[in-house]
Amino acid sequence: MATSSSSAAWAEPQRPQYHHFVPRFILRNYAGPMLPPPGLNKKKQKQWVRTHNKDGLLNVIDLDNVKVIQSPLSCTLGVLDMYRDLKSADQHDVEKKFSVLESQAAIIMSDIRKAFDRGLPDIWLTRAKRDVLRKFLFIMKYRSQAFHQRFNPETGDYIADDREEMLTYMKVKGFAKPIDVWLNNLRTLIDVKMDAEQRWRKTVLDNAYPGDAMWFFAYIQASYLAFCRTSNLNDEFLLTENAYAIYEGPTSEELDLMTQKMVTRAYTEYHCFAPISPSLMIVLRSNILPQGMQDDDEDSCKELLQYTKSLHNDPASADSILLDLPVEKCRNSYSIIRNGTAVLTADYSLPPSEHKFLFRFFPVEAKHVKMINHIMLNEAFRLSTIVFKSKPAARLTIEGYLTEADPKLMAVTDAPGDKRRKYLTDLESIVQQLGGSVKNKHSVQSIPKDEEGDFRAWGEIFRKAMPAVDTPLTNLHKRLGE
Termini Cα distance of the chain: 58
Please say if the pLDDT value at position 74 is more than 60. yes
Mean pLDDT of 386-405: 94
Lowest mean pLDDT among 42-51, 203-212, 268-277: 42-51
Please say if the pLDDT value at position 457 is more than 70. no
Q: Is 257 or 272 the better-scoring residue by pLDDT?
A: 272
Q: Is 470 or 372 the better-scoring residue by pLDDT?
A: 372
Please say if the pLDDT value at position 291 is more than 70. yes
Determine the pLDDT at residue 338: 84
Please say if the pLDDT value at position 482 is more than 80. no
Please say if the pLDDT value at position 372 is more than 50. yes
Please say if the pLDDT value at position 451 is more than 70. no
Please say if the pLDDT value at position 92 is more than 90. no
Mean pLDDT of 203-230: 95
**Phi and psi angles of residue 443, each rounded to the nearest 5 degrees, phi first:** -110, 160
What pairs with residue 336 in β-bridges? Answer: 343
CB-hemisphere CA count at 13 Å for 453? 14
List the one residue out of 374, 385, 392 whose CA is nearest residue 434. 392
Determine the pLDDT at residue 130: 96
Lowest mean pLDDT among 271-280, 410-419, 426-435: 410-419
Give percent of the chain with pLDDT exceeding 90. 54
Q: Is 291 or 433 the better-scoring residue by pLDDT?
A: 433
* Cα Rg of the chain (Å, integer): 25
Determine the pLDDT at residue 30: 95
Largest CA distance in the chain: 98
Lowest mean pLDDT among 128-137, 331-340, 395-404: 331-340
Determine the pLDDT at residue 295: 59
Q: Is 37 or 343 the better-scoring residue by pLDDT?
A: 343
Give percent of the chain with pLDDT exceeding 70. 84
pLDDT grade, residue 25 (50/70/90)?
very high
Determine the pLDDT at residue 5: 41
pLDDT grade, residue 456 (50/70/90)?
low
Determine the pLDDT at residue 386: 97
